[in-house]
Structure 1
């Protein structure tokens, strides 16, 4: 197992232990019945968000993304951008500016929609998951309106599912905007993790079979057994 696989598996174990990645029967916005659900909003302690930021930062450092600042779309992207910026500075020596937006433009005080560093040069978007790509599209519009350039997107988990156009939201964003999308982990990493004997307590055989069947049905690419 290479270092990237080890990092993905460590992150998934962390998410399961925190109750952020859960197994069961969940109805998604798409109407699909999923055997698992990931909600980064359930990382809600200081230690958890600090560790999450370290996973994002480590993924960025090991990637080929070129960026000058971070942008976290409101609301879930806000703590992600802050935690990642801190981890990049403390763990890797990269002091990167960050910004995030308000859902509603403030008309008093300093006013405006943006908080943090001015959007400029190459801006990396940080989010948790990408279902329809709506938050990313809104972020790209904000970045370009400021005269900056979207440099890419990093998410925690890539579900790797086909959308209504038979392509995943990740692929659609990459194609539409010509920017790379990287993730800390992919659903294939989860399937691989659950095959390990040490992960048997995470999910029983029925859950593992349901997850495999779900990806074979909805996955954007084939899955080797």
Structure 2
């Protein structure tokens, strides 16, 4: 696939990788907000060593290209644990070796105890997770990091759905990413966005996936944000 002006090749490659891995699927799926979405992204299906390693490459490239400053990585339980570890390994391979930590859902009352595992949480912390739907996980991570003495500074995610969040079951005019960035004060970088997904589908308009372009476009027109 050849990128043209205005295209993000890393994002398009990531969308293709996600489709080929069965992580990004098309059809009819009910979201947490109760919407019927024509696509579904399940990062839990990056479920073998090769897929996880390739995923970490995408994260690391996007993080380094973003210019975001960070001293360590934090992975929120549960999906963020494997993501943080894999990304830390890939960053080290690229010459950027940083410590990482993650949390348990339940506090441990023996051994080292507590809910945090890994390196001491300090300095500017980059949170690594898969997607954001409401910003709840981000708020929880921020509280954990601050309580441990670190500074929650940024967040890296795989896919920005670029759609309205919901509060108490009501649509609001901002996305979860916009909320985390504008209200919680964290910098956010995403490997790909809904706009990239639409671009990918448009490029494959003459193929099997092409039929979903109009459906995803209609979904964006109804629920999308910039």
* Normalised TM-score (structure 2): 0.93
Q: Secondary structure of 1:165's match?
A: strand
Look up the match of 1:173: 180
Look up the match of 2:62: 59
Rounded Cα–Cα distance in structure 2 between residues aligned with 1:58 and 1:2: 20
What do the CA deviations read for 1:23-69 (whole angstroms, capped 9, x no partner)? 00001110100000000001100000000001000001100210000
Give 1:174 shift.
1.1
Rounded Cα–Cα distance in structure 2 between residues aligned with 1:180 and 1:4: 22
Look up the match of 1:211: 216
Mean Cα deviation higher: 71-80 or 143-152? 143-152
Q: Is 1:104 aligned to 2:98, yes or no?
A: no
Look up the match of 1:72: 75
Q: Secondary structure of 1:166's match?
A: strand
CA 1:65 to 1:215, structure 2 compared with 1: closer, same or farther past 3 Å? Answer: same
Residues 76 and 127, structure 1, Cα contact 8 Å, conserved in 2: yes
Q: How does 1:1-225 map to 2 (within 5 A)?
A: 1=4, 5-90=8-93, 92-163=94-165, 164-197=171-204, 200-201=206-207, 203-205=209-211, 207-221=212-226
What do the CA deviations read for 1:118-157 (whole angstroms, capped 9, x no partner)? 1001000000000011111100000111121011101000
- How well do the aligned residues superpose, as a CA RMSD in angstroms? 1.4
Unaligned runs of 5+ residues in structure 2 are: 166-170
Rounded Cα–Cα distance in structure 1 between residues aligned with 2:184 and 2:148: 16
* Normalised TM-score (structure 1): 0.93
Residues 202 and 210, structure 2, Cα contact 8 Å, conserved in 1: no
CA 1:211 to 1:64, structure 2 compared with 1: closer, same or farther past 3 Å? Answer: same
More strand by share: 2
Residues 145 and 152, structure 2, Cα contact 8 Å, conserved in 1: yes
Moved over 6 A (4+): none
Q: Secondary structure of 1:34's match?
A: strand
The alignment covers a number of residue pairs equal to 218
